[in-house]
Amino acid sequence: MPVPTSRTNECGRIKIDEIRCNGCGLCITVCKDCSISLENKKAKIAATPLFGCLACGHCMMICPQEAITVEGRCTSEEHMLDVPSSEEAASYEELLNLLYRRRSIREFKDIPVEKELINKVVEAAQTAPMGLPPSDVHLLIFDNREKVSAFAKDFCEYLEGFKWFVSKWFLALMRPFYGKEYTSFLKSFVRPCVKAFTGFMKRDINIVNYDAPVGLYFYGSPYIDPADPLIAATYAMLSAESLGLSTCFIGAIHPFIQNGKAAKRFREKYGIRYKSQGGIFLLMGYPDVKYKKTIKRSFAAVDWR
Ligand SMILES: Cc1cc2nc3c(=O)[nH]c(=O)nc-3n(C[C@H](O)[C@H](O)[C@H](O)COP(=O)(O)O)c2cc1C
């Protein structure tokens, strides 16, 4: 039975050229769906796969004989590329330097980001892994400052209707259902956020998305692993950095536009196709500030077992 996503409801179709197959078994090693088995020293389509081919393409990509093709689920032989050599790829030090150079930037130069660069970032983000192929990440691009700012204004107007959600009486009522930690998060972070977003916007100061030159909203369909849009956005963030652009995640929009009729209307207005468990905005543009130092950070815990 195929695993559905918003894009597909079929299994991948694996084709094996028996003449080319040399029975090395690499395709069987990498296929975790057990879609392929070895019979008489030849790879064959297995009768009882785990889910049905997800079209991850691993069997096709690893075959030294180019004897396998996978079609369907938005995958095809035509999508295969040569693997870049390790010399062409970034070294650990180069990558670490890029990571240390990155800062969340909220002060952007008022110059547009070239469409070519936006496309490059999108291409890089599309290399991100996903819970289940094919990716069910949806991307909404606001490609200039006017559009980004107009969205923030509209969002703040929409938020005005949301104030009851973080009001004293509502949080007191919901405390037994929300629990201590979530209630305190709503009180100490979300309530001031709503107040600040709407209050500042009334004075024409945009602290929702800081009038960035580009806004990228990554979200998913109801089928998706909620982590997928965040991982894709992280790839976008790092590739933008490598192109001399700066970025900032904005997590404070997505949760507000998920539930209820007003949220649905708001989503529809922007062509946002789904409410989604996971989603995030990424601002992008040329930085108008330069940091002198970077910073070493730590996780809450790193436990070795
Ligand atoms: C999931 C997530 C959500 C975030 N949401 C916001 C946000 O809504 N507004 C904002 O100004 N920064 C946001 N940030 C940026 C963080 O505030 C920032 O990463 C943090 O202050 C550390 O700074 P650095 O990224 O320069 O190391 C978010 C970051 C992440 C990872």
Question: From the CA of 31, how far away is ligand 1's center (Å)?
Answer: 37
Q: What is the pLDDT of residues 98-146, one digit of tens each?
A: 999 999 999 999 999 999 999 999 999 999 999 999 999 999 999 999 9
Q: Check if 237 has its Cβ closer than 6 Å to any atom of ligand 1.
A: no
Is residue 290 domain-resident?
A: no
Same domain, 135 and 234: yes
Same domain, 96 and 65: no
Same domain, 280 and 238: yes
Same domain, 224 and 257: yes
Handedness of CA 272, 73, 3, 228 (dihedral sign): negative
Same domain, 46 and 135: no
Question: From the CA of 79, how far away is ligand 1's center (Å)?
Answer: 34
Residue 71: Cβ within 10 Å count = 17
- Total domain count, the chain: 2
Q: Which domain holds residue 71?
A: 13-79
The residue out of 33, 49, 79 marking a domain boundary is 79
Same domain, 113 and 255: yes
Q: Check if 249 has its Cβ closer than 6 Å to any atom of ligand 1.
A: yes
- Domain CATH number, residue 264: 3.40.109.10
Is residue 225 domain-resident?
A: yes
Same domain, 74 and 30: yes
Is residue 254 domain-resident?
A: yes
pLDDT at 22: 97
Q: 28 near 37, Cβ under 8 Å?
A: yes
- Domain CATH number, residue 37: 3.30.70.20
**What SS3 state is found at 44?**
strand
Same domain, 75 and 218: no
Same domain, 122 and 72: no
Question: From the CA of 54, how far away is ligand 1's center (Å)?
Answer: 34
Same domain, 111 and 64: no
Question: From the CA of 14, how far away is ligand 1's center (Å)?
Answer: 43
pTM for the whole structure: 0.95
Q: Check if 252 has its Cβ closer than 6 Å to any atom of ligand 1.
A: yes
Q: What is the pLDDT of residues 8-39, one digit of tens each?
A: 999 999 999 999 999 999 999 999 999 999 99
> Mean pLDDT, the chain, as a whole number?
96
Choose which residue among 249, 291, 296 to substitute to test ligand 1 binding: the one with the highest number of ligand atoms within 8 A of its C-beta. 249
Q: What is the DSSP letter of 209?
A: S
